[in-house]
Structure 1
Amino acid sequence: MVKSVLADVPVDIDRDSARRAAAEELSDPKYRDARPNFLQQTGQWLGERLDRLLAALSSDVPGGIFGLVLVLVLLIVLVVVIRLRTGKIARTSRAGGVVFGGQRKSADDYRRSAAEAAAAGRFGDAVRDRFRAVVRALEERALLDTRSGRTADEAAAEAGLLLPNVADQLRQGARLFDDVHYGGREGTEAAYRALTELDERCRRERPVAMAGS
């Protein structure tokens, strides 16, 4: 093929004629098909740069290539830890600690659900719903504003300011809820009874802001 092209090109050829002849030859579709596409070229370029980087680092890092691998593993672990603490997983874990994950029911409805769960031996559900009954009752009394996204600790801290006599019990109740709700612990009958007593005490307590009225 090259010989036939050369046979058609004058022996005494100037620069412009040579450029045109080369352009005509390279415009043949077979050259285009044989040329690697952009992704292939990019991958080849990146591979060459990575090989050079690894070669350079392996000679500088103590322990050669094994030391380099160790450094890379440590960097990967660091990235994973940062993602766990600040990324989507961490946000999902924190979101799991909210008291109300869906539509609210009345405090009495939560109390009934808790009692039914306890009677069936499902103390995890009983603990969750009884603490929700505590928080929902405080909202119904306007001691807490009805706000989405409130965690158990936040509810206990806010309610404890108005009901100081049960502030410690509220914090303990929040801990019981958290341990079961997203801490992975099993609910117990003792925990359910403690929250039932907390609920009754909160219903009897008068908030300090209304004590003089």
Structure 2
Amino acid sequence: MDTPRVPAREAARRELSERMYHENDPNPLQRAVDHLWDWIGDLLSTASGAAPGGPVGLLVLVVIVIALIAALLWRLGTPRRSPRAVDALFESGPLSTPEHRAAAEAHAAAGRWSQAVQERMRAIVRSLEERALLDARPGRTADEAAAEAGRTLPAHATRLRSAARTFDDVTYGGRPANQQTYLTVLALDLDLESATPRLAATLPGAAG
């Protein structure tokens, strides 16, 4: 006796739903990737059919678009960082020289040599500003301060540049300072207190 059609269909469906028949089926992620590639292939096929010259014309259009983007990026250039936001010597509000020196000594007493170096360098620059050897200018970097001060105090120009590099290494380069590093910057601070600036009249090219 023949099996009725509907029960036979249900029996076949149950049989085919067994796990053994689906062990090699792609997983959901693989099926999604396959669908994505199919969609991209259909899109490219449609675009190549609409583009003048077929696939070759589409390739030419893609190359032209890439060239235009590259030219635009070259024309605009890479964004330049703001020295005031990134490399400014003074991060907080204005403090006096004694306040920066006190902060440096407190950090040094606690063994926080990196912070001590930073505050001592700030004390050096603030002292030069208070003595009118540097113009008080917000946003000045340690390198700029050292270069400007070196023209007024040429005998200490090399040590000023070295202290500025140390400040940058500690602050932005992540290089830890130690006691000797701090003592070097401290010695510069003490020596600058009694340093005699070069007067404008004695600078090369100054009016006699």
Check whether TM > 0.5: yes
Q: How does 1:90-105 map to 2 (within 5 A)?
A: 90-91=81-82, 95-105=85-95
Alpha-carbon distance in structure 1 between the residues aligned to 2:55 and 2:96 = 66
The letter for the 1-side match of 2:175 is R
- What is the count of residue pairs matched by the alignment? 152
TM-score (norm 2): 0.60
Distance between the aligned counterparts of 1:161 and 1:194, measured in 2?
21
Call closer, same or farther: CA 1:59–1:143 in 2, change over 3 Å: same
Quick one: percent identity of the two aligned structures?
A: 42
CA distance in 1, matches of 2:121, 2:137: 16
Q: Which of 79, 83, 86 is 1:86 aligned to?
A: 79
Q: Which 5+ residue runs of structure 1 have no aligned equivalent?
A: 1-46
- CA 1:197–1:58 in 2, change beyond 3 Å: closer, same or farther? farther
Q: How far does residue 95 in structure 1 lie from its aligned partner after superposition?
A: 2.9
Match of 2:5 in 1: none
CA distances 1:68-114 after superposition (whole Å, capped 9, x unpaired): 79x96xx78x959x77x425xx23x7632111122111111111111
Q: Please report the RMSD computed on the Cα atoms of aligned residues, expressed in angstroms.
A: 3.7
Pairing 1:109–2:99 present = yes
**Separation in structure 1 between the aligned mates of residue 185 and residue 55 of structure 2, nearest angstrom:** 61
Q: Map Cα deviations across residues 113-145 of structure 1 (whole Å, 9 max, x no partner).
A: 111111112111111100000000001111011
Counterparts of residues 53-202 of structure 1 (less than 5 Å): 59=56, 85-87=78-80, 90-91=81-82, 95-202=85-192
What letter is aligned with 2:129? E
Counterpart residue type for residue 127 of structure 1: V
Q: Which has the higher helix share?
A: 1
Gap change, CA 1:59 and 1:159, over 3 Å in 2:
same
Q: Structure 2: how far apart are the matches of 1:127 and 1:51?
A: 63
Cα drift, residue 52 of structure 1: 5.0
The answer to whether the 8 Å contact 1:96/1:181 transfers is no
1:167 aligned counterpart, secondary structure: helix
4+ residue runs of structure 1 moved beyond 6 angstroms? Answer: 55-58
Residues of 2 paired with 1:121 and 1:58: CA distance?
69
* Whole-angstrom CA distance in 2 between matches of 1:201 and 1:52: 76
2:34 match: none
Report the Cα distance in structure 2 between the residues aligned to 1:153 and 1:135, rounded to whole angstroms: 11
Equivalent position amino acid for 1:107 in 2: T
Structure 2: tracts of 5 or more residues without a match? 1-42, 203-208
**Is residue 2:200 matched to residue 1:207?**
no
The alpha-carbon distance between structure 1 residues 52 and 141, as it changes in their structure 2 partners (threshold 3 A), is farther
